[in-house]
Amino acid sequence: MQIGGTFIDDTYAEAFTLRAARLLITADSAGWAETAARSMTGFATSVIGCGCEAGIEGVAPERTPDGRPGVRVLVFARSADDLREQLVKRVGQCVMTSAGSACYDDLPAEERVRVGAVLRFFGDGHQIGKRLEAALFPEEGARPRRLWRIPVMDGEFIVEDRFGVVKAIAGGNFLILGASRPAALAAAERAAAAIRAVPGVILPFPGGIVRSGSKVGSKYKGLVASTNSPYCPTLRRDVQSALPDGVESALEIVIDGLARTDIERAMAAGLRAACGDGIVRITAGNYGGRLGKHLFHLRPLLGGA
């Protein structure tokens, strides 16, 4: 299969199951809502070293509970307990501290973790609980919600008592093999921009692009992952290289999503956008079943392209 002169490998991306939460952060302006969201999602590229994977969802909410500008954030972790720990720390240190912010749950789910219920103690006894018997949005149905009003120096920080947790998928991916570094980067930037238009997904790495892709395992005891040596151009003569002739740079796109269909749509959009002049081949992180049970085959995603 070729698209725009770019060959698409007959392979699959291998992804794995995590737990996810979706937050809606609001503020007095869109700029301040984004500031809080970017602060909260810092140092969150991989569960391996960061404890969670997080990012801003590219599709902005049509409306928010308090009628102010808002930003959606997705956070992924290995378990509900890990997710709760990350949410308490990140909301407490990065959202509550951000001027004019509020933080709401945006993922109705049976499983829920305590966030505002923990952060309320910062109010030193002056916090006020507010129970809403009606849903914030009519389409949610009659889902009771509890909010906390925590006094802070610019007014009050409003935060939801508990946040929903669902099973989700992390690690949808593809690799862009370019004839030059500029060509590979331009293609990766196109792919990232296209994926941000898809709801329900995030790109957890800087700018949505990974230069230091990894393989499973290492020659060093205790390391679960190491540099993806078959795709490193400087190691062509030292390892069994996976880079075709004419490829001088490889970049990876990694996608986390709430559902399989979300990742499928995102991968399809990103793959199409990445193809073109200067891109020799597109492949994916295939680990032979050692990483995860979710397989995303590239060619079927592109249909009749």
Domain map (residue ranges) of the chain: 2-14+170-301, 17-166
Cβ partners under 8 Å of residue 250, min gap 6: 175, 176, 177, 178, 184, 213, 231, 232, 233, 243
Neighbours of 142 (CB within 10 A): 8
pLDDT score of 143? 67
pLDDT score of 191? 98
- Burial (CB count <10 Å: 0-12, 13-18, 19+), residue 71: buried
- 249: tokens are 């740079």
Is residue 133's pLDDT more than 70?
no
Q: Residue 258: CA atoms inside 13 Å, Cβ hemisphere, count? A: 19
Is residue 168's pLDDT more than 90?
yes
pLDDT band at 141 (very low <50, low <70, confident <90, very high): low
pLDDT score of 134? 56
Q: Do 2-14+170-301 and 17-166 have matching folds?
A: yes
Of the chain, the percentage scoring pLDDT greater than 70 comes to 95
Is residue 299's pLDDT more than 60?
yes
Strand partners, 21: 75
pLDDT score of 142? 58
In this structure, which topology does domain 2-14+170-301 adopt according to CATH? Answer: Alpha-Beta Plaits (3.30.70)
pLDDT score of 292? 77
- Span 65-97, pLDDT tens digits: 999 999 999 999 999 999 999 999 999 999 999
* Helix 260-274, helix 181-195: angle, nearest 10: 140
Q: Identify the CA nearest to 210 among candidates 165, 151, 253, 263.
A: 253
More confident residue, 207 or 2: 207
Secondary structure of the chain as H, E, C letters: CEECCEEECCCEEEEEEEEEEEEEEECCCHHHHHHHHHHHCCCCCCHHHHCCEEEECCCCCCCCCCCCCEEEEEEEECCHHHHHHHHHHHHHHHHCCCCCCEEEECCCCCCEEECHHHHHHHHCCCCEEEEECCCCCHHHCCCCEEEEEEEECCEEEEEECEEECEEEEEEEEEEEEECCHHHHHHHHHHHHHHHCCCCCEECCCHHHCECCCEEECCCCCCCCEEECHHHCHHHCCCCCCCCCCCCCEEEEEEEEECCHHHHHHHHHHHHHHHCCCCEEEEECCCCCCCCCCEEEEHHHHCCCC
As a dihedral over the C-alpha atoms of residue 54, residue 19, residue 145, residue 162, rounded to 10 degrees, the angle is -80
Spatial contact of 48 and 224, defined as CB atoms under 8 Å apart: yes
Spatial contact of 17 and 77, defined as CB atoms under 8 Å apart: no
- How many whole angstroms separate alpha carbon 305 and alpha carbon 284? 18
Please compute the mean of the pLDDT values over residues 255-276 and round it to a whole number.
Answer: 97
pLDDT score of 285? 85
Please compute the mean of the pLDDT values over residues 91-107 and round it to a whole number.
Answer: 97
Q: What is the pTM of this model?
A: 0.93
Is residue 34's pLDDT more than 90?
yes
- Span 207-243, pLDDT tens digits: 999 999 988 889 999 888 899 999 999 999 999 999 9
- In CATH, the architecture of 17-166 is 2-Layer Sandwich (3.30)
